[in-house]
C-alpha cells in the first residue's frame, strides 16, 4: 500500500478502536480519544499478568483472542512470540485486522484472523495455552455458556476484561416458601444496546448482561477455573478501572491430576 492508499483506507470510517502506527506518518484515527488510555491501562494490567504466568515467554504457546476486533491484543501476543488466532463476529473488524497484519508484516503461520461467532466454537478441550476474553462478557446474552466454553478450550490461563455494575450489596430474593429469603452477592444487569447495527464494538443482536465483581468470580469458579485474581489498577490507570466500572480478572485452570 502506498502512503496515499493508507491515508484513504484508515480514514474511510467508521472510527477505529485502536491506534495502529502504519508507518510513513499514518495512524488509524481513534473512535474516541479516551480509548487511548483504556488500551494503555489494559496493556499494563494484562501483559505483566501473562508474563508472570509464562515466565519462559510465549514462544511455542498457542493463544486465542476472542472478539479481537481489529486485532490489537492478537498483534501484541504475536509480537511476543506466540502463535495467535483472533476471531470476531464482524467482517469489517477482521478485514481491518488482516490488513493491519499485512502492513505490520506478521506471518500467517503465526497469526490468523477469522470471522466467527464465539458460540460456534468447536475447538478440542485444552486447545489454547492462553485465551483472552476482553470486552465481550457484557455484550452477550449467555455469559455462563461463554465462560464454560472458555474453560473447555483453555489449557492454563484465561484473561477476562469486562464492564462491571456498581452493585456491591447482595440482592435479596424470596425462595420458594413464604418468609424464606436469599441474599445473593453475584448479580447481573440487563441492557438492550441501542446501537448494534452501526457500532462495531457492540453486542451482535443480543441482549447484554452486565455482571458485578461477585458474579464474574462466581461464573469463573462455576465453570471450573480454580484460581481467580482481579488485577489491581495502578494509580495512573484510566478512571473506569480506578472506580471499578471495569475490571480485569486472571483465571487459572489447574491441570487435572493424572
Ligand atoms: C467492545 S469490543 C472488544 C474488542 C476487544 N476484545 C477489546 O477488548 O479490545 C466487543 C467485540 O466483540 C465482538 N463480538 C460481539 N459478539 C461476538 C460473538 N458472539 N463472537 C465473537 N465476537 C463478538 C464485536 O464485534 C466487537 O468487536
In a domain, 54, yes or no: yes
Q: Is 159 in the pocket of ligand 1 (CB under 6 A)?
A: no
Taking 70 as the threshold, does the pLDDT of residue 213 lie above it? yes
Q: What is the pLDDT of residue 205?
A: 87
Task: Tell me how far the alpha carbon of residue 180 lies from the centroid of ligand 1, in angstroms.
Answer: 40
**Domain limits for position 113:** 3-252
The answer to the question of residue 90 being in a domain is yes
Higher pLDDT, 248 or 205: 248
The domain that contains 143 carries what CATH number?
3.40.50.150
> Is 137 touching ligand 1 by the criterion CB < 6 Å?
no
Question: What confidence category does residue 257 fall into, taking pLDDT thresholds of 50, 70 and 90?
Answer: low
Q: Reduce the secondary structure of the chain to three states and give it as a string.
A: CCHHHHHHHHCCCCCECCCCECCCCCECCECCCHHHHHHHHHHHHHHHHHHHHCCCCCCCCEEEEECCCCCHHHHHHHHCCCEEEEEECCHHHHHHHHHHHHHHCCCCCCEEEEECCHHHCCCCCCCEEEEEEECCHHHCCCHHHHHHHHHHHEEEEEEEEEECCCCCCCEEEEECEEEEEEEECCCEEEECCCCCCCCCCCCCCCCEEEECHHHHHHHHHHHCCCEEEECCCCCCCCHHHHCCCEEEEEEECCCCCC
* pLDDT at res. 107: 94
Assigned domain for 226 exists: yes
pLDDT band at 256 (very low <50, low <70, confident <90, very high): low
The answer to whether position 115 is within a domain reads yes
Ligand 1 pocket: which of 89, 158, 198, 199 to mutate (most atoms within 8 A of CB): 89
Q: What percent of the chain has pLDDT over 70?
A: 99
- Indicate whether 257 belongs to any domain: no
The CB of 149 under 6 Å from ligand 1? The reply is: no
pTM of the complete model? 0.97
Atom of ligand 1 nearest to the CA of 72: 9
Q: What is the pLDDT of residue 258?
A: 57
In the prediction, which pLDDT does 185 show?
98
**pLDDT, tens only, 46-100:** 999 999 999 999 999 999 999 999 999 999 999 999 999 999 999 999 999 999 9
Please give the tally of structural domains in the chain: 1
In a domain, 113, yes or no: yes
- pLDDT tens, position by position, 19-49: 999 999 999 999 999 999 999 999 999 999 9
Answer yes or no: is 258 within a domain: no
117 lines ligand 1 (CB under 6 A): yes
State mean pLDDT over 139-153: 98
Q: Is 100 in the pocket of ligand 1 (CB under 6 A)?
A: no
Instruction: Quote the mean pLDDT of the chain.
Output: 96
Q: Does the beta carbon of 114 sit less than 6 angstroms from any atom of ligand 1?
A: no
234 occurs within a structural domain = yes
pLDDT grade for 255, boundaries at 50, 70 and 90 = confident
Predicted confidence (pLDDT) per residue in 99-138, tens digit = 999 999 999 999 999 999 999 999 999 999 999 999 999 9
Amino acid at each position: 500500500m502506498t502512503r496515499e492508499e493508507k491515508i484513504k483506507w484508515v480514514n474511510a470510517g467508521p472510527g477505529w478502536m485502536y491506534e495502529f502506527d502504519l508507518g510513513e506518518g499514518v495512524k488509524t484515527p481513534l473512535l474516541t480519544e479516551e480509548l487511548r488510555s483504556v488500551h494503555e491501562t489494559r496493556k499494563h494490567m494484562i501483559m505483566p499478568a501473562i508474563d508472570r504466568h509464562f515466565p519462559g515467554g510465549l514462544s511455542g504457546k498457542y493463544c486465542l483472542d476472542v472478539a479481537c476486533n481489529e486485532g490489537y491484543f492478537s498483534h501484541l501476543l504475536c509480537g511476543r512470540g506466540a502463535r495467535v488466532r483472533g476471531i470476531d463476529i464482524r467482517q469489517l473488524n477482521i478485514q481491518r485486522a488482516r490488513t493491519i497484519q499485512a502492513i505490520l508484516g506478521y506471518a500467517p503461520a503465526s497469526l490468523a484472523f477469522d470471522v466467527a461467532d464465539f458460540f460456534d466454537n468447536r475447538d478440542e478441550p485444552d486447545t489454547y495455552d492462553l485465551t483472552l476474553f476482553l470486552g465481550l462478557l457484557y455484550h452477550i446474552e449467555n455469559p455462563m455458556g461463554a465462560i464454560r466454553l472458555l474453560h473447555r478450550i483453555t489449557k492454563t490461563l484465561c484473561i477476562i476484561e469486562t464492564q462491571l455494575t456498581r452493585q456491591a450489596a447482595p440482592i435479596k430474593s424470596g425462595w420458594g416458601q413464604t418468609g424464606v429469603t436469599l441474599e445473593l452477592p453475584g448479580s447481573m444487569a440487563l441492557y438492550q444496546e441501542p446501537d448494534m447495527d452501526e457500532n462495531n464494538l457492540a453486542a451482535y443482536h443480543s441482549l447484554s448482561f452486565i455482571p458485578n465483581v461477585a458474579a464474574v468470580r462466581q461464573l469463573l469458579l462455576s465453570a471450573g477455573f480454580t484460581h481467580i485474581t482481579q488485577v489491581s489498577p495502578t494509580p495512573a490507570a484510566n478512571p473506569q478501572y480506578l472506580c471499578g466500572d471495569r475490571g480485569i480478572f486472571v483465571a487459572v485452570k489447574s491441570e487435572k491430576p493424572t
